[in-house]
Amino acid sequence: MSDYEQNNSEKSAISKTNFTEKNLPLDSAVSLGQSVIQTIDEAQCHCEHDREIPQVDLLTALTIRGVTFRNRIAMSPMCMYSAQDGFATDFHLVHLGSRAMGGAGLVVVEATAVTPEGRISPGDTGIWKDEHIEPLARIARFVEAQGSVPGIQLAHAGRKASCDSPWSGGRSLETTAEGGWPVVGPSPLPFDKGDPVPIALSKADIEQCINAWEAGTRRALIAGFKVIELHAAHGYLLHEFLSPISNHRNDDYGGSLENRMRFLLRVAERLRNIIPQQLPLFVRISATDWVDGGWDIEQSVVLSRRLKELGVDLIDVSSGGTTLDAKIPVAKGYQIPFARRIREETGICTGGVGLITDQQYADEIITSGEADIVFLGRELLREPYWAIKAQQFLGGEPTWPIQYGYAVKRRAK
Ligand SMILES: Cc1cc2nc3c(=O)[nH]c(=O)nc-3n(C[C@H](O)[C@H](O)[C@H](O)COP(=O)(O)O)c2cc1C
């Protein structure tokens, strides 16, 4: 289990202040980079789901709506716990920019909180105020200038918010004196024994959260991101509503599958309505809680179908995070069968993630039609140039930055 997953023992609270957002001048502000964006007329409106093209492999470009990814290698969102008051820093620019220089087709900024209370830790990046836009825009511009597509994951940590950074132990920050805040969730059920009991969100609180996601999305688009990914995995707020383990509500948002899906479906619908037609919307889910009576792959298939109907373009298929009781069979590609099943049964594009480390295996995931794109986490931390190495390994043309390419191709005589 990754540090991130291990440190999912946290919590959060929605601001009680009314979330009144300015109507940001979205259409005029979204810059559509020439290199990766086509108009909707030129492009397919939906996932190409292109198994009819026999030669699709890891290095084949992928077009979703008006956005073309130069290959099917994505940098998975990874919290760096290094923001200040939600502001991305030079660290984030170099960290994300270097993977774009390293050839990835998509670079996704870490779980970025739509409210201050939705942060996993005080060091999470945030997008709850307009001032957060410019440092994120700098990252998006740089990533795009390197030929990669800039994406951002928009998140609320729910009952797993308000924690210390992993390298400081990742424990709950329970008091304001130690930098913490009250946490929220669907029901007053703590993630772990001894963790703070979350405040159950009222229907009005849920509306505020939806407004916050919409406002965060507007800001992300102004910053120049071309892919918005909604974080509904790993036991954070939206997943907490999906799972019967964390959701014991008996109103419109709890009980039946339809009710448990309602919050996520409403957020996805609102976001799709404001995201320009030529830009994709991804949703990351946990396909299963890995415990009996929890969220599972059958429900994930139903959910994915509904998300597709709302105009979601890709399901990024992860798993786990709701409970420490889960027995997760962590091994190479252990989540890939879920990506395959969702893809086959719903026709939506999927992303495969989890312990993908070698280029050959990543290529097989694509060529065998298990997923449309692979997300790499830790292996890209180990090797920023993984995508260029994949290009070399698979016989493609390495996409070195122009400043490097002419020099590295020159061999010593
Ligand atoms: C340091 C770290 C931070 C992470 N932060 C996030 C995150 O912000 N959002 C998310 O959905 N997953 C997060 N994850 C999970 C990764 O995106 C990925 O799904 C997971 O690490 C499995 O892929 P891997 O085996 O290639 O690392 C994080 C993982 C790591 C190692």
Is the pLDDT at 212 greater than 60? The verdict is: yes
Cβ-contact 170, 195 below 8 angstroms: no
Q: What is the pLDDT of residue 411?
A: 77
Handedness of CA 93, 95, 100, 106 (dihedral sign): negative
Confidence of residue 328 (pLDDT cuts 50, 70, 90): very high
Handedness of CA 346, 349, 352, 357 (dihedral sign): positive
Mean pLDDT within 335-363? 98
Q: What is the pLDDT of residue 203?
A: 98
Is this model's pTM higher than 0.95 or not? no
Q: For residues 328 and 234, what is the distance between their CA atoms, to the nearest angstrom?
A: 13
Question: Which amino acids bring their CB within 6 angstroms of ligand 1?
Answer: 2-4, 76-79, 110-111, 153, 231, 233-234, 284, 318, 353-356, 376-379
Which class for 322: exposed (0-12), middle (13-18), buried (19 or more C-beta within 10 A)? Answer: buried
Which class for 120: exposed (0-12), middle (13-18), buried (19 or more C-beta within 10 A)? Answer: buried
Is the pLDDT at 261 greater than 70? The verdict is: yes
Q: What is the pLDDT of residue 409?
A: 82
DSSP-derived letter for residue 396 is P
Average pLDDT, the chain: 89
Confidence of residue 26 (pLDDT cuts 50, 70, 90): very low
Q: Hey, what are 150's tokens?
A: 């800039």
> Residue 76: which of 32, 106, 117 has the closest Cα?
106
pLDDT over 90 for what percent of the chain?
85
DSSP-derived letter for residue 334 is T
Confidence of residue 402 (pLDDT cuts 50, 70, 90): very high
Q: What is the pLDDT of residue 410?
A: 83
Q: What is the pLDDT of residue 263?
A: 99
The rounded Å distance from CA 380 to ligand 1 centre is 11
Q: What is the pLDDT of residue 21?
A: 27
Which residue has its alpha carbon closest to ligand 1 atom 22?
A: 354
By most ligand atoms within 8 Å of CB, the mutation choice from 1, 3, 4, 365 for ligand 1 is 4
361 is catalytic: no
Mean pLDDT within 342-371? 97
Which residue has its alpha carbon closest to ligand 1 atom 28?
A: 78
Closest approach atom of ligand 1 to CA 229: 11
Closest approach atom of ligand 1 to CA 234: 11
Domain residue ranges of the chain, discontinuous segments joined by +: 3-14+32-408
Mean pLDDT within 371-388? 98
Q: What is the pLDDT of residue 53?
A: 55
Mean pLDDT within 295-306? 98
DSSP-derived 3-state class of residue 199: strand
Can you identify the CATH homologous superfamily of domain 3-14+32-408? Aldolase class I (3.20.20.70)
In angstroms and rounded to an integer, the radius of gyration of the C-alpha atoms of the chain is 20
Which residue has its alpha carbon closest to ligand 1 atom 6?
A: 78
Q: What is the pLDDT of residue 28?
A: 32
The rounded Å distance from CA 111 to ligand 1 centre is 9
Q: Which of 4, 236, 253, 385 is catalytic?
A: 236
